[in-house]
Amino acid sequence: MLKDKVAIVTGASSGIGRAAALLFAEEGAAVILNARGEKALHALAAEIGGKGGKAAVVAGDVVEEATHRQMVEIALSRFGGLDIAFNNAGAVGPYKPLADVTLFEWQQTVGTNLTSAFLGAAAQIPVMLERGGGSIIFTSTFVGTSVGIPGMGAYAASKAGLMGLVKGITADYGARGIRANALLPGGTDTPAAGDVAQKEWAAGLHALKRIADPQEIARAALFLAGPMASFVAGSALFADGGNAAVK
């Protein structure tokens, strides 16, 4: 599905990002892997290479503009361009009632979840335009878009802001071949999902009464990245096990 395409995946060292990077590579894409943990990224790149795929590593924090510029430069120098960006990295931030959140905590959460998405898109779009367009995917969530959860106001605001970013990119660049969409997972079995009790609580929020395997969310990202979603732009794809439907 992604033969001869070039894709950036942030947050690729674990969870949804790792699953998406593996799947994109299996589908034929060359992938640029990003996260802060360099060791895990090199292990993933070796795994992809061992299966006949192509991968490059850019370790760095997505809150830094230089990280995104480096990924784009690697896409150009190693693989000739950029077609897909899965801007997936994020952080939950503080678990506190909103009035207890410090300005530093707020800025850190918004920076990781929303400003980083802007920085990624700003670096990625010009290079994609040189190829006649591309697909940009942001990982949002049901938190802040369909429901509020106590103690997660900063996270909800930053993730909901991605929906405005998606619409803005679509208005600016849709006619030039850029498809921007948000992927909204439900609870997913990743390191951020917590312990067994927390996973069981999260499962109860979903109509399917379970949380997702990361590969299930990766397949939704693959749909948005590939040609089957050629007329999907400016949208929010809920891959949330019916969570939003039963609130």
Active site residues: 155
- Please choose, from the candidates 78, 2, 91, 1, the residue with its C-alpha nearest in 3D space to the C-alpha of residue 33: 78
At residue 148, what are phi and psi to the nearest 5 degrees?
-105, 145
Measuring CA to CA, how many Å separate 223 from each of 10, 84, 216?
A: 17, 12, 11
Q: What is the DSSP string of 7-34?
A: EEEESTTSHHHHHHHHHHHHTT-EEEEE
Q: Which two tokens stand for residue 212?
A: 């997702």
Q: Count other C-beta atoms under 10 Å from residue 1's C-beta.
A: 15
Cα distance between residue 230 and residue 156, in whole Å: 29
8-state DSSP, 114:
I
Match 């335009």 to its residue by tokens.
129
Q: Provide the terminal-to-terminal Cα distance of the chain, rounded to the nearest Å.
A: 35
105 touches 94 (CB < 8 A): yes
